[in-house]
Structure 1
């Protein structure tokens, strides 16, 4: 009985050990393992850019208006017309202006005739004054007669000066009327291309306090500029002379090059967002770029070639269960040690393009693999517990 009891306890103990071992193995296999996504350290070119949007415009645009009021009688230039300096591009009806010139001419001639009349009166008054002066000295006429002759003489002199002033005034009115007549002929002030035409034949244009714009002429479309709105947070990085590249929707995949020529000081505020206008000039020899096109602009601030760089995701990574090591202050990345445990590596960083960051100091080489993300999941042994038919094994 003692041996049988002993064997019974031995068998029960063995079964218990098997059950405990199987349970421990099952729990260990079910415990999620932490895995990591790695990215290598590498050498690369880094570029820091300021990204903005802008609009293409001609470098020099001239707004052609009119200084007189009248009806447009003829138009000699249309959209996209090439014009030369001094070329007639529109004509305002001249009928009223010619009549005003004729009227001013007549007034001028009348004023000249009045001068001749005043000169004749002055000569007659001068002769009377001299005659009365001689007679008064001989006591042959009264003092009043002598004084009246002198008064007529001085009055004639004043009338001559007034007539001469009227001649000058009439000449000025004639010049003004002739100038207005010349203004009815609208001429191009520069060589260029008509970008827009804002009037039609028969339309009346009114020149008041604000001169109406009839034509918009681009002086040289082989040179264009991009008027770019740069955010106030980035404007400190932008300097004159920097290289810029931009793309337009009309030519997807094609990049155009320009140069920053002006950083304007005047701010533009729209819905509490402050931007500054940065002017980028570019060549347009093929006339591919059109005024008004929207451009996506990249302004190159600085560039470094073949620097040791780490991915920005590695700088942002923090392990969910901190390792039993001291975490350094400042910038650092994490890599796996020989026991596949994450350990921090302190760094001194430099330039960054938003995806990669330059390493100035740090114990890193190109061969190092850095942790960029942590992945939690069950061990691959979970897959091993399944039979080829897909059924799960009991342990």
Structure 2
């Protein structure tokens, strides 16, 4: 009886140990979730061979509007970011000097025209005197000296008239130049666009004697250009007319489709 009781006790102890070990195993491993795998159905598609390059988005047309006249800026009605139309006022330079130059040129032209008319009157009288002396000489009623004197006077007056005529052309050119310089003091937009840069302020003096100072820069933003440099290894993979796309920092998830061109 004692041997049988001892065997039963050993069996019970072994069973208890197995139960405890099994419970510990399931406690440690039974609660862990099964691993999950990402799957995708197999399908046919295109493989994209990409050529990546960084670039800069620029306006297709950028114009520097400069001053062709020297003087003080007295009006600058445009501001950075403003949209302007062709012919709209960009800036006004003080035109007092140019106005005075034009007045002087006009006064010289008026004086020249008056001298020209006076000389024509002298020529008319000299022509009459010459004709009279010529007729009298034919009738032996005048001396040859008087005839030659009348002829010389007429020729001198005609030469002086030619000189006044040449001066008149020069004065007219001076008037046109003065008018042109006066027009340069009013600076207008050469095209439609946005003001992307202003170089001067009201009260500032610009000097155009050596170079053309920039007043503003206008950009046509209706058409943009992306300028990018492609590595030498990738140049052979691209060609003009090829479809490309680009993204910008403000909209990194939006692709803009365009065609590739060479510059």
The residue number in structure 1 matching 2:259 is 260
2:212 is paired with a residue whose SS is coil
Higher relative contact order (CA 8 A, sep 6+): 2
State the shift of 1:239 in Å. Answer: 2.0
Q: Name the residue aligned to 1:69.
A: 70
SS at match of 2:52: strand
Deviation at 1:200, TM superposition (A): 0.9
2:246 aligns with 246
Distance 2:86 2:131 in 1: 63
> What TM-score, normalized by structure 1, do the two folds share?
0.52
For 1:184, the equivalent position in structure 2 comes to 185
**Residues 220-231 of structure 1 correspond to what in structure 2 (within 5 A)?**
221-231=221-231
Distance in 2, matches of 1:258 and 1:211, equals 39
Report the equivalent of 2:27. Answer: none
Q: Deviations over 1:200-234 (max 9, x none)?
A: 11212122353222111112x24211111223443
Q: 1:53 Cα deviation (Å)?
A: 2.0
| Closer/same/farther in 2, CA of residues 195 and 137 from structure 1, 3 Å limit | same
Which digits, 9 at most, give the CA deviation of each residue in 1:282-312, with x for residues without a partner? Answer: xxxxxxxxxxxxxxxxxxxxxxxxxxxxxxx
Q: Once the 2 structures are TM-superposed, how far is the Cα of residue 235 of structure 1 from its aligned partner? A: 2.9
Segments ≥4 residues shifted beyond 6 Å = none
- Structure 1 residues 142 and 230: alpha-carbon distance in aligned structure 2, compared to 1, 3 A threshold: farther
Give the conservation status (yes or no) of the 8 Å contact 1:81–1:194.
yes
Identify the residue that residue 37 of structure 2 maps to in structure 1. none
Higher share in helix: 2
Give structure 2 stretches of 5+ with no counterpart. Answer: 1-42
Residue 102 of structure 1 corresponds to 103
CA drift at 1:258: 3.5
Q: Secondary structure at the match of 2:113?
A: helix
Residue of structure 2 equivalent to 1:302:
none
Contact 2:116–2:164 (8 Å) recurs in 1: yes
Q: Could you list the per-position Cα deviations for residues 108-164 of structure 1 after superposition, in whole angstroms to 9, with x for gaps in the alignment?
A: 101110111110111121112111111222233333332222121122112222222
Cα RMSD between the aligned structures?
Answer: 2.1
Decide whether the 8 Å contact of 1:58 with 1:225 is kept in 2: yes
Question: Gapped runs of 5+ residues in structure 1?
Answer: 1-41, 265-395
SS of residue matched to 1:163: helix
